[in-house]
Chains A and B, each alone.
Chain A
Amino acid sequence: MSSETSAPVRRGRAASVRRWVRRRGWTAGVWLLLLALIGWYTTLIPEFGEFEITSIAKNSLPSVYLALAQGVVVISGGVDLGAGGLMVLSNSTAAALMEGQPPEVTVLIALAVVAGAALLNGFVGWVIAVSRIPDIVVTLATLFIFTGVALMVLPSPGGGTSGQLRYAFTGSTTGIGTNFGPSLIAIAVPTLLFAAWLTRTRTGLSIYAIGSDDHAAYLSGVRVVRAKVTAYATGGGFAGLAGVALTAIANSGDPRFDNAVNGTLNSLAAVVLGGILLGGGVGSVVGAAGAGIIFFTLSPILTAMGIDPNTAQVVRGGVIVAVMVVAGLLQLRRWRTQ
Chain B
Amino acid sequence: MTETETSVRDDRAGARPAEAGWAGYLSERPLLVLGAVLALLVVVTVAIEPGYLSVRGVRNTLLLAAPVGILAAAQTVLMLTRGIDISVAMVATLAGYVVGSQAGTGLAYSIVVGLLVGALIGAVNGVGVGVFRVHPLIMTLAMSAILLGLLSQWAPTIFRGVTAVPPFLRTVGGGSFAGHLIPYNALVWAAVAVVVILGLRRSGLGRMIYAVGDNPTAARLAGVREWQVLLVVYAISGLLAAVAGVLIAGQVGSVDLRLAEEFLLPSVAAAVIGGTSLFGGVGSYSGTIFGALILGVLNTMLTFLNATQAMKQVVFGVIVLGLAWAYAAAQRRTG
Chain A residues proximal to chain B, CB less than 8 Å: 79, 127, 131-134, 136-138, 140-145, 147-152, 155, 257-258, 265, 268-269, 272, 278-279, 308, 310-318, 320-321, 324-325, 328-329, 332
Contacts and interface: CB of A to CB of B under 8 A. Distances in A.
B278 A324 contact: no
B304 interface: no
Interface string B262-300: 000100110010000011000000000000000000000
B142 A137 contact: no
Given A151-B308, A151-B309, A265 B141 contact: yes
A320 B146 CA distance: 10
A279 B316 CA distance: 27
Contacts of B143: 317, 321
Most chain B C-beta atoms within 10 Å of own C-beta, residue among A131, A138, A143: A131
B278 A320 contact: no
B310 A133 contact: no
A141 B317 contact: yes
Interface residues of B, number: 45
A325 B314 contact: no
Contacts, number: 145
A149 B265 contact: no
A98 to B, nearest CB: 21
B318 A145 contact: yes
A278 B139 CA distance: 12
A141 B321 contact: yes
B150 A278 contact: no
B133 A131 contact: no
B324 interface: yes
13 contacts: A127-B325, A131-B324, A131-B325, A132-B332, A138-B324, A141-B318, A145-B317, A278-B135, A308-B152, A313-B152, A317-B143, A320-B141, A320-B142
B35 to A, nearest CB: 22
B291 to A, nearest CB: 13
Interface string B317-332: 1101100110111001
A142 B144 CA distance: 21
Interface string B122-162: 00000010001111011101111110111011000000000
Most chain A C-beta atoms within 10 Å of own C-beta, residue among B309, B317, B320, B329: B317
